[in-house]
Amino acid sequence: MGILSRPKTFFSSMTDSTSPRETITQLRREIERHNHLYYVEAKPELTDFDFDRLLEQLIALERQFPELLLPDSPSQRVGGSITKAFPPVQHREPMLSLSNTYSTLEVEEFVNRVKKLLLLEGVEEQEMVAELKFDGVAISLLYRDGILVRGATRGDGRQGDDITANLRTIPTIPLRLNALAESGEGEVEVRGEVFMRKEDFERINENRPEEDRFANPRNATAGSLKLQDSAEVARRRMCFVAYYLKGLHDESTAHLRRLALLSQLGFFTGDHYRLCPGVPEINDFIARWSEERWKLPYETDGVVLKLNDVVCWQKLGATAKSPRWAIAYKYPAQQARTVLHNVIFQVGRLGTITPVAELEPVLIAGSTVSRSTLHNFDEIERLGLMLHDRVIIEKSGEVIPKVVRTIPEERPADAEPILPPSSCPSCQTPLVRPENEVSYSCPNEEECPAQIKGRVLHFASRNAMDIQTLGDALVEQLVAKGLIKGPADLYFLQEEELATLDRMGKKSAQNILGALEKSREKSYERLLYALGIRHVGRATARELSQACPSIDTLQQATEEQLATVPDIGPVVARSIIDYFSRGSWPSLLAKLRSAGLPLSASEPKEQVNKNFEGLTVLFTGALAHYDRQQAAELVMERGGRVVGSVSKKTGMVVAGSDAGSKLQKALKLGVRVVTEDEFESML
């Protein structure tokens, strides 16, 4: 770790012996080495803080010497370029798909078929490699002389889309294959799957408005790869697993060996593949991962079996769609039977009515389920669902289980049709069903208590203005008593008014006012998100705050102007225009202004206290509310430092769930250990 042990090296050493070119090259190598240690090997040697410092040094140098900037520089991973359209590219050879089966019997038939076909070719012994099937998006990467020159989606198999800029932001995609760059290897193609870890999927969804959440990590991945703003793609933190390599001169003819080569070149190849000499080993592998897979940080929906001998791949060939030398076994979705007791109707912050099934509690894929969204009435109709029906619920890629069908032959005598409510369950206003929409909706935007409550809770949520003392029950009371008609009214509440609420002492009332006071210091970007404009999530709010750095410019922007902002399409642009043309907007704006909320980007950034000054903090185990990066930022903003290993000098260890050896060590050394909740309250 030479670079770090020589502080300030780069700028000073350049003047004497090292040229900027050499320094930059060294920095790049060092950064990519740490990248690999962190993302592929999961054995980081640097804290996030120190890593960021290296990257900042590199970026600064590249700014100073723009002629030395190369597309394979790790500085390119932070993104920033905007791609307006993704041009089509031809694949060098078709990207095939796999034939699927849900039956282990069919897997056995597949193995026997392969054996038979190969016997005709005079090949006796055959082995299979079993890999996990990653639930993501297939892509192809092209390296020329070891440098990543092109990355493309599969598309229709022959022609895909060029998404190189977006793929460069994925830390587990090497931008440069050192071994090949030196040997001048020519063109090499690597294929694999881009996927999203469960933790990142949940974080991303939390930053999206309810109406636009992704159903599963695969959809989130597909959506993210097609974003125009590569900086936003970088924030999605996707991963890549490589399973195919073609074009190396000394290419081995064993698939297993090629996986090892990919790994040596710096790719993540999945930690769990294995060689299976026969059907029993294949069945073992399938059985083992059917349960173990729930513990993985990413989703896998099955097992892929491939012939190990690549020479035989050619012998067997492919059908129009899939090769004959491989098959995908898919795990059946986890299902459970239960009873639909009732359907309730929720009113969202935008007035949308969502039917929600209340179910007899049932255990599925490790958790108890008693509720599930039915989305809308088209869905109820499609399912032919009636009250008191026996139903099957299923958990597959989705995090939340859904009702997949009824069991009509077991329909009880008291089954009743599920009818859409004619009026809003909250304010009794007759419902409407806008043309071309699948949902009913309550048109009483301004007065409906459920909509007001939804808007206020959204405004106060963690990713918006982050007013933690404003919980569900409190907001419910504030709205019911007519103390507030929208988020801006929060800032005009008096202590005496709060004191009239149930279970509210002087102290809690003051806490709430204090939290509101503090929220005035949040950023303009957060405020834009907090307004709850339809389809405007955190990422869109960020883009908007850059394109229109004050609310005055934003409310005057035309639909055409808005549509030029990256990742804002016609639907979002229309929704923004609609929001600012509502009759109630001028008075809301006036209230926001007199409440002193941040209405432009130039207003002071979020102020945070420095109560972690001098404290070194270590995170271990999984945190429920933050990912590591966010948690580290929170500590650093407050003056603390984040470290990667425990010693006597560590100030504090934050232990999440499944904390292991580091927690043990901390306890042994007598280092202060706190839970995530305690950490949160310290913030």
**At closest approach, how far in Å is the CB of 232 from ligand IVH?**
24
- Window contacting ligand IVH (CB under 6 A); options: 128-136, 178-186, 353-361, 463-471: 128-136
> Does 312 engage in binding with ligand IVH (CB under 6 A)?
no
Nearer Cβ to ligand IVH (133/349):
133
Tokens describing residue 295: 């513990």
Q: Tell me the number of residues near ligand IVH by CB under 6 A.
A: 14
Q: Among 10, 51, 110, 134, which residue interacts with ligand IVH (rule: CB under 6 A)?
A: 134
Tokens describing residue 667: 């306890």
- Window contacting ligand IVH (CB under 6 A); options: 64-72, 115-123, 132-140, 438-446: 132-140
Nearer Cβ to ligand IVH (239/623):
239
> Does 267 engage in binding with ligand IVH (CB under 6 A)?
no
> Does 31 engage in binding with ligand IVH (CB under 6 A)?
no
- Window contacting ligand IVH (CB under 6 A); options: 166-174, 323-331, 392-400, 559-567: 323-331
Contacts 24+ apart (CB under 8 A), 248-255: 248/180, 248/185, 248/188, 249/185, 249/186, 252/310, 253/309, 253/310, 253/311, 254/308, 254/309, 254/310, 255/129, 255/306, 255/307, 255/308, 255/309, 255/310
> Does 323 engage in binding with ligand IVH (CB under 6 A)?
yes
> Does 133 engage in binding with ligand IVH (CB under 6 A)?
yes
Around Cβ 29, how many Cβ atoms within 10 Å?
Answer: 14
Nearer Cβ to ligand IVH (252/461):
252
- Window contacting ligand IVH (CB under 6 A); options: 35-43, 95-103, 334-342, 470-478: 95-103
Check if the beta carbon of residue 463 is closer than 8 Å to that of residue 485. no
Residue with tokens 């440069």: 176
Eight-class DSSP state of 431: P
**At closest approach, how far in Å is the CB of 137 from ligand IVH?**
7
The 3-class secondary structure across 99-163, one letter per residue, is: CEECCHHHHHHHHHHHHHHHHHCCCCCCCEEEEEEECCEEEEEEEECCEEEEEEECCCCCEEEEC
Q: Rounded to whole angstroms, what are the CA distances from 467 to 117, 464, 517, 576, 603?
A: 66, 8, 10, 25, 19
Concatenated DSSP letters for 303-316? EEEEESBHHHHHHH
- Window contacting ligand IVH (CB under 6 A); options: 41-49, 131-139, 287-295, 538-546: 131-139
Report the distance separating Cα 391 and Cα 306, nearest Å.
Answer: 38
> Does 544 engage in binding with ligand IVH (CB under 6 A)?
no
Give one word for 13, left, alpha or beta, with left for phi > 0 and alpha for psi -120 to 50: alpha
Give the bridge partners for 138, in sequence order: 193
Q: Among 59, 69, 70, 96, which residue interacts with ligand IVH (rule: CB under 6 A)?
A: 96
Give the bridge partners for 386, in sequence order: 417
**Active-site entry in 116, 133, 315, 648:** 133
Report the distance separating Cα 104 and Cα 529, nearest Å.
Answer: 49
Nearer Cβ to ligand IVH (321/506):
321
Nearer Cβ to ligand IVH (330/665):
330
Nearer Cβ to ligand IVH (196/652):
196
Q: Among 3, 14, 98, 380, which residue interacts with ligand IVH (rule: CB under 6 A)?
A: 98
Check if the beta carbon of residue 349 is closer than 8 Å to that of residue 458. yes
Q: Among 129, 142, 234, 326, which residue interacts with ligand IVH (rule: CB under 6 A)?
A: 326
> Does 131 engage in binding with ligand IVH (CB under 6 A)?
yes
Nearer Cβ to ligand IVH (134/345):
134
Report the distance separating Cα 420 and Cα 417, nearest Å.
Answer: 10
Nearer Cβ to ligand IVH (245/265):
245
**At closest approach, how far in Å is the CB of 208 from ligand IVH?**
25
User: Can 507 be counted among the known catalytic residues?
Assistant: no
Check if the beta carbon of residue 491 is closer than 8 Å to that of residue 553. no
**At closest approach, how far in Å is the CB of 441 from ligand IVH?**
38
Q: Among 10, 110, 214, 243, which residue interacts with ligand IVH (rule: CB under 6 A)?
A: 243
**At closest approach, how far in Å is the CB of 334 from ligand IVH?**
19
> Does 193 engage in binding with ligand IVH (CB under 6 A)?
yes
**At closest approach, how far in Å is the CB of 304 from ligand IVH?**
4
Q: Among 138, 347, 646, 652, which residue interacts with ligand IVH (rule: CB under 6 A)?
A: 138
Side-chain-facing half-sphere of 460: CA atoms under 13 Å: 24
Nearer Cβ to ligand IVH (94/549):
94
**At closest approach, how far in Å is the CB of 252 from ligand IVH?**
17
Residue 576's nearest CA partner among 626, 613, 540 is 540
Give the burial class of 427: count Cβ atoms within 10 A of its Cβ; 0-12 exposed, 13-18 middle, 19 or more buried. Answer: middle
Nearer Cβ to ligand IVH (272/375):
272
Residue at 372: amino acid letter: S
Three-state secondary-structure class, residue 374 = coil
- Window contacting ligand IVH (CB under 6 A); options: 91-99, 155-163, 250-258, 445-453: 91-99
Nearer Cβ to ligand IVH (51/273):
273
Check if the beta carbon of residue 51 is closer than 8 Å to that of residue 127. no
> Does 97 engage in binding with ligand IVH (CB under 6 A)?
yes
**At closest approach, how far in Å is the CB of 316 from ligand IVH?**
12
In the region spanning residues 389 to 408, those forming contacts with ligand IVH, defined by CB under 6 A, are none
Q: What angle do CA 75, 536, 680 make, to 5 degrees?
A: 70
Give the bridge partners for 550, in sequence order: 600
Nearer Cβ to ligand IVH (304/632):
304
Site string for ligand IVH, 340-359 (x = CB under 6 A): --------------------
In the region spanning residues 272 to 311, those forming contacts with ligand IVH, defined by CB under 6 A, are 304
The 3-class secondary structure across 220-235, one letter per residue, is: HHHHHHCCCEHHHHHH
Give the bridge partners for 390, in sequence order: 339
> Does 659 engage in binding with ligand IVH (CB under 6 A)?
no
> Does 268 engage in binding with ligand IVH (CB under 6 A)?
no
Give the bridge partners for 430, in sequence order: 423
Around Cβ 466, how many Cβ atoms within 10 Å?
Answer: 17
- Window contacting ligand IVH (CB under 6 A); options: 94-102, 395-403, 407-415, 418-426: 94-102
Give the bridge partners for 358, in sequence order: 342, 371
Which parts of this chain interact with ligand IVH (CB under 6 A)?
A: 96-98, 100, 131, 133-134, 138, 193, 243, 304, 323, 326, 328
Q: Which residues are catalytic?
A: 133
